[in-house]
Amino acid sequence: MKKLILTLLFLTSLNVFSQKRTKIFFKDFVECFYSDNATEPISIYNNPNENIMAELNLLTKPHCWYKFTISESKDGWLKIENVIVLPACEDNELNMDIGKYKNKWIKSKDMIINIGASGDTKISCLNDKNDKGFAEIGYRFYSKPNSESEIAFCVKGYTESELIAVNGTWAKLKIEYDSKSYIGWIQKKISMRLSVDSLPSI
């Protein structure tokens, strides 16, 4: 039932944005959400390590999340391309001007990307770390933002990850699992399709 409700809200959001001729997904950029487990407002900066120039309050209405499109990163900071509130809260002021904070910066802490749609999480890899392409056991993470680099690990099932850096459409993610931290690069076009199933869990 929750998934059905969320699906309907998402489709309604798509329709509203379509009527306003506003894109909500941007294939040439990495996109992430602000974690619904976060307890502090999102601080926005003109440049890394400068004073805060604005803050985004935590969203309290059901089915509302900040979705950030990210253009670049630097030492734990992410540069904003645009910000949208999804899938409900279509009347949020940010949706009237998604580029309001374009070229401003946020800290990468609590910025998440969900991997997979369902199933128990399993982290492992093929024996041959030089084997390329889509892994039958799940999604492959590389040691560098390059599919020719060594495979760092693989993920099967659903898991939440923290975005720590970007390089074009490659995202460097950290996954906490079974008391261990896994860090690797994954390309958006391969396995980070934002959809109803990849919205933060409720």
Q: What is the pLDDT of residue 93?
A: 93
8-state DSSP, 95:
G
pLDDT of residue 196: 42
**What residues of the chain score a pLDDT lower than 70?**
1-22, 125-137, 189-202
The pLDDT value recorded for residue 19 is: 43
**Of 44, 30, 37, nearest in space to 77 by CA:** 44
* Phi, psi angle pair for 147, to nearest 5°: -70, -5
pLDDT confidence of residue 126? 56
Query: Is the preceding peptide bond at 87 cis, omega within 30 degrees of 0?
Result: yes
Does residue 150 contact residue 189 with C-beta atoms inside 8 Å?
no
Please report the pLDDT score of residue 22 as a whole number.
58
Question: What is the reported pLDDT for 87?
Answer: 86
Q: Residue 188 and residue 27: Cα distance in Å, rounded?
A: 8
Looking at residue 96, what is its pLDDT? 93
Structure confidence by residue, pLDDT tens digits, 61-99 = 988 999 999 999 999 999 999 999 988 888 999 999 999
Q: What is the pLDDT of residue 125?
A: 62
User: Which structure tokens are listed for 98?
Assistant: 């998604």
Reported pTM: 0.81
Tell me how crowded residue 97 is: count the other CB atoms within 10 A of its CB.
12
